[in-house]
Amino acid sequence: MTLHFGILCFPAVQQLDLTGPYEVFASATGAKVHLVWKDLEPVRASTGLWLQPDMRFVDAPDFDVLCVPGGAGVNALLTDDETLAFVRDKAAKARFVTSVCTGSLVLGRAGLLRGRRATTHWNAHDFLASFGAVPVRERVVRDGSLITAGGVTSGIDFGLAVVAELIGQEEAETIQLSLEYAPEPPFGAGLPETASPDVLASARARMAGSRREREVLLSAIGPES
């Protein structure tokens, strides 16, 4: 039986939010992964990598897993009625509705987080409550058919967790071993709680522009459509 994964592929997506889970999903037995957008023109990720959508909204089937990655491009999606309508429609028919990083804000704006436990990137975590979500500080959070992941690299952990739910732990572990996913980061600065004050301040400064834009957008339009 073929499992269909649909990953939103939009301009200024954070490429590892997309390519991390893509690599895991595409490695699963019987999986077919689609990069979905309004058209088939290449899109440029937030760090410059070009990505190629292979399926248009209008041609998309119902998916077993719908995944919304994050990135600076999320801000434009928060007021994009066509994309929000697509997410709502496909979410209603998917076995699992999922996000990586700030992709959860799109789910929230689409009205899919009300009363649900969810997570996102640490620099956007405080936005979750405005969508009616129950914010949780964990790397991967499952609430029924909703699975959300924290920032960027958590997409690999998330992908393995989704595969384990759909196919089984042995398949997920086989993929993990095939990818040699045994992270040992050289520094302990991966979370605000473990980073030095100077590093935390530097990271916040780099993301300040996108965060200010989100604050203005959500203040003007409200969290849900």
For the four alpha carbons of 20, 131, 36 and 90, in that order, the dihedral sign comes to positive
Q: d(Cα 124, Cα 153) in Å, to the nearest integer?
A: 15
Note whether 32 and 4 are within 8 A (CB): yes
135 forms beta bridges with: 118
Q: d(Cα 128, Cα 143) in Å, to the nearest integer?
A: 14
Question: Helix 169-178 and helix 154-166: axis angle, to 10°?
Answer: 140
Give yes or no: 9 in active site: no
Catalytic pick from 101, 106, 118, 152? 101
126 forms beta bridges with: none
For residue 50, what is the DSSP state?
E
AA identity, residue 134: V
Q: d(Cα 54, Cα 9) in Å, to the nearest integer?
A: 9
User: How many CB atoms sit inside 10 A of residue 205's CB?
Assistant: 9
Residues annotated as catalytic are 101
